[in-house]
Structure 1
Amino acid sequence: MVGLAAATLTACGAQDGAGTNSPTAVKTQINVVTLHPQSVTITAELPGRTTASLVAEVRPQVGGIIQKRLFQEGGEVKEGEALYQIDPATYQAAYDSAVAALQKAEAAVPSAQAKLERYEGLVKQNAVSKQDLDDAAASLAQAKADVASNKASVESARINFKYTTIRAPISGRIDKSSLTPGALVTAGQTTVLTTIRTLDPINVDVTQSSTNLLNLRQAIKAGRIRISGENISVKLKLDNGTIYPITGKLEFAESSVSETTGTFSVRAVFSNPDRLLLPGMYVRALVEEGVAPNSFLVPQRAVTRNTKGEPTALFVSKEGKIGQRVLTVGQNVGNSWLVSSGASDGDRVVVEGSQFVRVGQDVEAVEVVIDDTTGEVRERKQGAVFPTESGTDFAGNRGNGASVRN
């Protein structure tokens, strides 16, 4: 009996030694990222559309028959380049007639001038009356007025004659022609001959929530965010998800908020040398609003939600034990969350293997590097092996958390 009791105690001791807290137990290996404070550029991702920086609708300023179309539809034109030729015959004749009338008026001036000078000498000798002198002065003034009037007529005829060649008012890409040679046009008609749009530079009009604007200004006032300067840079995310390679700048923001939508418009300007951006394209503008100093970025794959809906993450203490904290997250920065509370310098947050551990468990932490562009582990200590469904939380969900976009 004594031997059986001793054997039983020995077996129990062996079972206790196989527990997770035994010095000989194998610790679960998890991947962690060490957090450090850093200056984080705060960007707002805003929806918008591209618009041409200049738009000109081409209409005739004189009437007539279109003789020629002088441009390639869909091509690039320069300011002042000839686009259409209207039959100039009647305008040429009107110009020639105005020039002839001007010459006739100018010819009458010397005679009236000489007559006035003679009468000025004769009136002193009482050879002509004062009335005759006044009539001569009036005749000279009338002759000079006729010259001025005919000069204006010549200029008007010249302008109309010049308008028979319709020229590009701006440089840019030209649309198709709505009329062909042989069509009759009139001055100021409603039908647009064609439209020219300047595509370089090109504008991007985006909308910003007034609520986000208030939050940003309050954060700046409280010192949580530093403004990034007067020249605010803007990047573009195209409709296919790629980033436009050229950085633009913020041009202006409207001074009023829409009463119906609660938003205001912001305009950015981008260089467009390759004409990749066309008017009407849907884009998302990444606007640099400021810099948040001494901030923490926690990978999205490390953040989950508890039963209360609060964002949480698992941390590894200095003693190697798992703990859980509630975080206060702001907007997303790449594939990370901007955390304003719940994290401190040197904290090790679990980014992979969280589904295999529980709070209070001893673990072996392996430092890894997260690729912020993809959110995946880029570098891992050799020998760290995990199932393919890495980054899942306790409920089996993916560990990049719920979206809390700005």
Structure 2
Amino acid sequence: MKNKIQKVRAIGGITTALLCALALTACKKEQQQQAAPPPPVVTTVSIQKSPVLLTSELPGRTAAYRIAEIRPQVNGVILKRLFEEGSDVKAGDSLYQIDPAPFQAALNNAKAALTRAEANLPAIQLRVDRYQKALENKAVSQQDYDDAASNLKQAEADIQYYKAMVDTAEINMNYSKVLSPLTGRIGTSSVTDGATVTAYQQIPLATVQQLDPIYVDVPQSTTDLLGLKKRLQNGQLTYDGATVTEVELMLDDNSTYSHKGTLQFRDVTVDPTTSTMTLRMVFPNPDGELLPGMYVRAIVREGINKEALMLPQETVTRDRKGNPYVMVFRDGKTYRQMIEVDRAIGNMWMVKSGITEEDHIVLEGLQKISHEGAASEDYKGVFSRDSAGTEEAAQ
């Protein structure tokens, strides 16, 4: 009897403990339900189409506008170099003096021969005149007259010949002073005083380069060029008049060159090894800041996209594969929306596809919604691109 009473008491204690545990669990669940946080608040914006000037940033090198390799046109010995290496010279400035003595002697000889020929001409002319009168009176034979007339023509030809000899000697005399053919900057001299040079030798004496204006040559891939032409043809891009040929320049230190240039031409052939063609621009260079061979980046204008969708860069996230997406708010929830971007424009992305003007895009609060789910919206209206970046786009 006593054992039965103890068993009943034990069962009763266990039951009481279970009931208490169940009651405590129910209370905790109720408290947890009462403490559930509200959905996160996200700030959203919408975007609208607007015109954007598109540009391409292309690396290139500067090149002299004109180059003249200075070579002697006569044989001789350099008496003196007449310029400072690295200085600016003008067209017609004397650069070298070749020993003029042999050319002066040749000129004097040619002039003397011309004088002698001119002195003989009057006597020969008188003889022909006398023979002509004598022939009319049959005092001389026709052969004698013909010989005299032939001597006259030969004397006249000798005068022309010696005149040409004088001209040649004067030209060679002038060539003994080597002149600059253009205005520009001259480099180092390959010869010194006393050096022997030959006419039109292979190694130039020096090189003069015109640096104002100056060329900038940049390669452009045929893929980019064909894509640009296609966008222009289908109306996605339009030219903005004369400014389409205007080019800006970025220097190697990331500073902007103070003068704007113009696109001069596109090469007519494609490099088969790189599938690129050369664009040539011309820039003013009055201060000589640009030198041939410098690395630069040309900002070339492509055209205007009149219906570009511009998206703030802070709204764009990338998945593990690097694909871009944005979070959009719809019907009380946030959703992941995959997009395709074209290029960066300041701190904006130009979007090719994936979103529309009707979408509400999460601008702030992305850290609160790492995944899709319920949220509360604070809509700020249409995002202002002017407050976020420039109107120009660089590819």
| Counterparts of residues 17-28 of structure 1 (less than 5 Å) | 19-21=37-39, 28=41
Unaligned runs of 5+ in 1: 22-26, 374-404
Separation (CA, whole Å) in 2 of partners of 1:309 and 1:300: 15
Q: Residues 288 and 125 of structure 1: is their aligned pair in 2 closer, same or farther, counting only changes over 3 Å?
A: same
Residue-by-residue CA offset, 1:67-107 (whole Å, 9 max, x unaligned) = 22111211111111111111111111111111111121122
Asked if 1:140 corresponds to 2:158, the answer is no
Closer/same/farther in 2, CA of residues 33 and 204 from structure 1, 3 Å limit: farther
1:304 is the counterpart of 2:321 = no
Q: 1:225-248: per-residue Cα shift (whole Å, max 9, x none)?
A: 113446511111211112212111
* 1:182 corresponds to which of 173, 194, 212: 194
User: Does the CA-based 8 Å contact 1:67-1:182 persist in structure 2?
Assistant: yes
- The offset of 1:345, in angstroms, is 3.6
1:195 equivalenced with 2:207 (yes/no) = yes
1:20 counterpart letter in structure 2 = P
Instruction: Provide the rounded CA distance (Å) in 2 between the counterparts of 1:247 and 1:269.
Output: 9
Deviations 1:255-296 (A, max 9, x none): 122221111111111111111111111112111121111112
Is the 1:254–1:264 Cα contact (8 Å) retained in structure 2?
A: yes
Deviations 1:296-330 (A, max 9, x none): 2223333222355432123456x886443222221
Distance 1:284 1:82 in 2: 37
Alpha-carbon separation, structure 1, partners of 2:272 and 2:325: 38
Greater displacement, 198-207 / 113-122: 113-122
Indicate which of 292, 295, 298 corresponds to 2:305.
292
How far apart, CA to CA, are the structure 1 residues paired with 2:368 and 2:286?
53
Contact 1:329–1:341 (Cα < 8 Å) also in 2? yes
Partner Cα separation in structure 1 for residue 168 and residue 282 of structure 2: 40
Percent identity between matched residues is 43
* Deviates further, 360-369 or 291-300: 360-369
SS at match of 1:275: coil
User: Normalised by the size of structure 2, how large is the TM-score?
Assistant: 0.83
SS in 1 for 2:166: helix
* Distance (whole Å) between structure 1 residues aligned to residue 357 and residue 127 of structure 2: 104
Give the alignment of 1:121-132 within 5 angstroms: 121-132=133-144
SS in 2 for 1:251: strand
Q: Cα–Cα, structure 1 residues 320 and 124, in superposed 2: closer, same or farther, change >3 Å? A: farther
Match of 2:56 among 44, 49, 55: 44
Contact persistence 2:42–2:366 (CA under 8 A): no
CA distance in 2, matches of 1:163, 1:352: 78
Q: Which amino acid aligns with 2:339?
A: L
Matched positions, count: 364
1:56-71 matched pairs, under 5 angstroms: 56-71=68-83
Change (3 A) 1:301 1:200: farther
| Structure 1 residues 379-390: aligned runs within 5 Å | none
SS in 1 for 2:301: strand
The residue that corresponds to 2:121 in the other structure is: 109
Query: Between Structure 1 and Structure 2, whose CA radius of gyration is higher?
Result: 2
Post-superposition offset of 1:347? 5.3
Deviation at 1:221, TM superposition (A): 1.6
Instruction: Sort the Cα spacing of 1:149 and 1:33 in 2 relative to 1 into closer, same or farther, 3 A.
Output: farther
Q: Corresponding residue for 2:17?
A: none
- How far apart are the structure 2 equivalents of 1:348 and 1:291? 26
Any gaps of 5 or more consecutive residues in structure 2?
Answer: 1-22
After the TM superposition, list the runs of 4 or more consecutive aligned residues in structure 1 that deviate by more than 6 angstroms.
8-11
User: Offset of 1:15 from its aligned partner?
Assistant: 4.6
- 1:181 is paired with a residue of what secondary structure? coil
Residue 363 of structure 1 deviates from its aligned partner by 3.9
Matched-pair contact (CA < 8 Å) for 2:45–2:379: no
Partner amino acid, structure 1, of 2:142: K
- Per-residue CA deviations over 1:126-159 (Å, capped at 9, x if unaligned) read 1111112211211111111111111111111111
For 2:162, give the aligned amino acid. Answer: N
Which residue of the partner structure matches residue 328 of structure 1? 340
290-299 or 45-54, which moves further after superposition? 290-299
Instruction: Give the distance between the partners of 2:360 and 2:79, measured in 1 at CA.
Output: 78
Aligned equivalent of 1:361, options 375, 380, 383: 375
**Cα distance in 2 for residues equivalent to 1:10 and 1:309:** 43
Structure 2 CA distance for aligned equivalents of residues 211 and 267 of structure 1: 18
